Structure 1
């Protein structure tokens, strides 16, 4: 299964970055590829969320279950249904200094078309990597404004 794993050093306190990452409903306001995020259910650290994201001109939709582990600054997500066969991963933050945080976005995905796997996986991996980097760059810009 293809993997996307991107990191970004963000010039902000880890808690500030964590608060933005957990506010998924606001992503569409400052992340160009994110069209819509709707919280379906929310129980303290467990959330069910609907996503609509533009990836290379195509609209992808999915529902995911998110688990937050605030003591470790980790948010795991697992696709429940959607356009891809699999879309799971996590956000993980690590404190570098008081005002510097490493943000890691890890995605394990499967398109679900075995006959076209060799052709589609590299293209999808490249597109998802670009999108993940865009999300981290947007997060970095937004956290500077808060």
Structure 2
């Protein structure tokens, strides 16, 4: 089962980054691959969000539950319905000193079709990694560019 982990240093504190990560419905405003993110349920520390992504002309849809740990600036997410058999991960914010923070995004997924998984998983893993890197760069640019 493919696992992707990407990280990037950002010249901003966790207090500035975390609110941007929590506003998932705003991601399409600055992330090119996302068509839409809709919040369909919200409680104090969770949301259920419906996502539509366009990766190289392929539309991928899923609904996920997002769990927010505000005290630790941490978000865990897990698909509850969608195109993949499994899709889950987390956002981790780690202080680096000098006011900078490392943003780490993990994605653990399973395509769900065993006969073609060996062929598609490496391709999909590369696409997920590129898409995740693009997400981190978009957040970095949003925080660091005037």
Mark yes or no: TM-score above 0.5. yes
TM-score range, shorter chain: over 0.9
Sort the Cα spacing of 1:98 and 1:71 in 2 relative to 1 into closer, same or farther, 3 A: farther
Q: What 5-or-longer segments of structure 2 have no aligned partner?
A: none
**Offset, 1:98:** 4.5
**Offset, 1:145:** 4.8
- Matched with 1:17 is 17
**Offset, 1:23:** 0.8
Relative to structure 2, which stretch is displaced further, 37-46 or 89-98? 89-98
Mapped to 2, the partners of 1:13 and 1:88 lie a distance apart of 25
C-alpha distance after superposition, 1:111-133 (max 9, x if no partner) = 00100111000000000000000
> Is 1:52 matched up with 2:52?
yes
Once superposed, which parts of structure 1, at least 4 consecutive aligned residues long, lie more than 3 Å away?
none
- Matched with 1:70 is 70
Structure 2 counterpart SS, 1:44 = coil
Mapped to 1, the partners of 2:98 and 2:23 lie a distance apart of 22
**Offset, 1:144:** 2.4
Q: Report if aligned partners of 2:10, 2:144 keep a CA contact under 8 Å in 1.
A: no
> Is 1:107 matched up with 2:92?
no
Q: What 5-or-longer segments of structure 1 have no aligned partner?
A: none
C-alpha distance after superposition, 1:22-71 (max 9, x if no partner) = 11111000000111000001001111000011122211110000000111
**Offset, 1:5:** 0.4
> Is 1:34 matched up with 2:34?
yes
TM-score, normalised via structure 2 length = 0.97
TM-score, normalised via structure 1 length = 0.97
> Is 1:138 matched up with 2:138?
yes
Structure 1 counterpart SS, 2:52 = strand
Aligned residues: 146
